């Protein structure tokens, strides 16, 4: 636990994240490289149809939907890693099954809700995005399976922690600047670090709310 009386010790959590990734950078980069390779190939394929063509737009949407289970599989991979469970590159493809329709529906509903809140103003849109930010983790954990149950559970987890979540993300700003200053080289360390820390933050929220 990295919290006391409901207050998350961000420094302790991030320190633990750095300890976890020590000696594991290759394991943490393997799924990212697979996703990057698939994205590169998909981009090359779409480029054959021209960026402005209707065919390219339709295919782009298809590719985006087809890639969604892989991005959620990445969450599974990192959750298994941070929890000390067995993790494997096959985790990336765990959701190309009967749950893919539930996953696509969840993504559509979250996108729609966030868009509608954004119409009111930028701030409500940001608050909505923070409220729904744990939805895919919950989907992976299967503690809730219905679309609205998952969204409501994410809202429950983030209730009272939205500002803390903002501060948590902002706490990586110097690391992000380092990536820019090193022309992306520092991302070799920073990307796995941030991803592991964010995954651990989710688990900490779960522990607090339970």
Which residues, other chains included, contact 198 with Cβ-Cβ below 8 Å and sequence gap of 6+?
none
pTM assigned to the model: 0.90
What are the angstrom distances between the C-alpha of 178 and each of 146, 175, 181, 183?
Answer: 41, 5, 5, 8
Among residues 202, 142, 210, which one has the least CA distance to residue 8? 202
Task: Tell me the residue length of the chain.
Answer: 210
For the stretch 13-37, pLDDT in tens is 999 999 999 999 999 999 999 998 9
Residue-wise pLDDT for 149-200, tens only, equals 999 999 999 999 999 999 999 999 999 999 999 999 999 999 999 999 999 9
């Amino acid at each position: 636990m990295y919290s006391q009386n409901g207050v998350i010790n961000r420094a302790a959590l991030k320190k633990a994240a750095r300890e976890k990734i020590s000696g594991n950078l290759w394991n943490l980069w393997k799924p990212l490289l697979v996703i990057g390779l698939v994205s590169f190939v998909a981009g090359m394929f779409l480029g054959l149809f021209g960026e402005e063509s209707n065919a390219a737009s339709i295919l782009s949407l298809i590719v985006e939907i087809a890639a969604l289970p892989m991005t959620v599989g990445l969450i599974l991979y990192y959750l298994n890693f941070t929890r000390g469970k067995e993790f494997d590159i096959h985790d990336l493809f765990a959701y190309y099954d009967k749950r893919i329709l539930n996953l696509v529906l969840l993504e559509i509903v979250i996108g729609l809700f966030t868009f509608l809140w954004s119409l009111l103003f930028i701030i409500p849109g940001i608050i909505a995005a923070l409220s729904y930010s744990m939805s895919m983790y919950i989907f992976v954990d299967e503690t809730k399976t219905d679309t609205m149950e998952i969204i409501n559970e994410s809202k429950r987890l983030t209730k009272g922690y939205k500002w803390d979540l903002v501060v948590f993300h902002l706490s990586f700003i110097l690391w992000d600047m380092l990536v820019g200053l090193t022309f992306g080289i520092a991302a070799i360390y920073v990307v796995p670090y941030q991803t592991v820390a964010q995954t651990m933050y989710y688990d900490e929220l779960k522990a607090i709310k339970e």
